[in-house]
Amino acid sequence: MDAQRFIIIAIDGGAASGKSSTSRGLRDRFSLLRVDTGSFYRSITLTLLNADIEPKSDQNLADALEGLKLETIIENGDAMISIDGWIPDESIRSERVNHHVSEYAALPEVRKRLLEYQRNQVQVAKANGFAGMIMEGRDIGSVIFPEADVKLYLQADPEARALRRAKEGIVDSMTKRDRIDSTRKNAPLMRPEGSILIDSSHMTLDEVIEEAGKHIEAVLKRD
């Protein structure tokens, strides 16, 4: 039998739609490198907040972004960004970052700074022997990898999402983030063309992973 070819899976959706937990399950089942691009936007946001750079397109922002050295470290199958040697921790999930991340992520300069870095994760995955890559975010199937082998779009109704966050004990401006993310000019959150829609409002995590896994199996069998 031929060696399995490298597969790319894109997974997009709003806040608390289940991207991270679903992609962790798929990472383990298919030996994929998992790339959580939300953590990249969160890490850049915290870096800019700490440097007192305001979320607006000006020279201060351009200079700050240009100076950043971005590298990748792999931890338990996840690609972690390192910014000037700093490896982000739980502070990127704080209320402060939740509150501001969408403002910074809407800036074209910020998105441009992360574009090639995100695409380069394919090389990182290949160089480290992964069978493929699963990348989650808001514009993965639409902008970063429109040619991905499988494109998943997760959604869940607002009640289910609010309940999930409450269970996690996290304070999050989810509705506000979703509004900014969906209406920005640059790479807005949308259901990508050719994507598979999974509404997880009334599904357990295992059911979502099972459903998504079927689509990945189908692609692997086809090749």
Which amino acid does the sequence have at 195? Answer: S
CA distance linking residue 114 with residue 144, whole number of Å: 10
Give min distance, CB of 134 to ligand CDP, in A: 12
Q: Which member of 32, 88, 100, 181 binds ligand CDP (CB under 6 A)? A: 181
CA distance linking residue 54 with residue 52, whole number of Å: 6
CA distance linking residue 30 with residue 21, whole number of Å: 14
Report the residue number, 211 or 220, with the smaller CB distance to ligand CDP: 211
Q: Which member of 7, 81, 107, 208 binds ligand CDP (CB under 6 A)? A: 208
Q: Cα 44 to the chain's mean position, in Å?
A: 13
Max Cα–Cα distance, the chain, nearest Å: 56
Which of the ranges 15-23, 47-55, 79-87, 125-133 carries the binding residues for ligand CDP, by CB under 6 A? 15-23
Give the residue carrying structure tokens 């890490």. 43
Report the residue number, 32 or 221, with the smaller CB distance to ligand CDP: 32
CB atoms under 10 Å from CB of 107, counted, come to 20
CA distance linking residue 47 with residue 60, whole number of Å: 13
Report the residue number, 4 or 183, with the smaller CB distance to ligand CDP: 183
133: three-class secondary structure by DSSP: strand
Give min distance, CB of 2 to ligand CDP, in A: 33
From residue 87 to residue 126, what is the string marking binding to ligand CDP with x (rule CB under 6 A)? --------------xx--x---------------------
93: three-class secondary structure by DSSP: helix
CA distance linking residue 153 with residue 202, whole number of Å: 16
From residue 129 to residue 168, what is the string marking binding to ligand CDP with x (rule CB under 6 A)? --------xxx------------------------x---x
Q: Which member of 7, 9, 10, 19 binds ligand CDP (CB under 6 A)? A: 19
- Please report, as ranges, the residues that interact with ligand CDP according to CB under 6 A: 13, 15-21, 37-38, 41-42, 101-102, 105, 137-139, 164, 168, 177, 181, 200, 203-205, 208
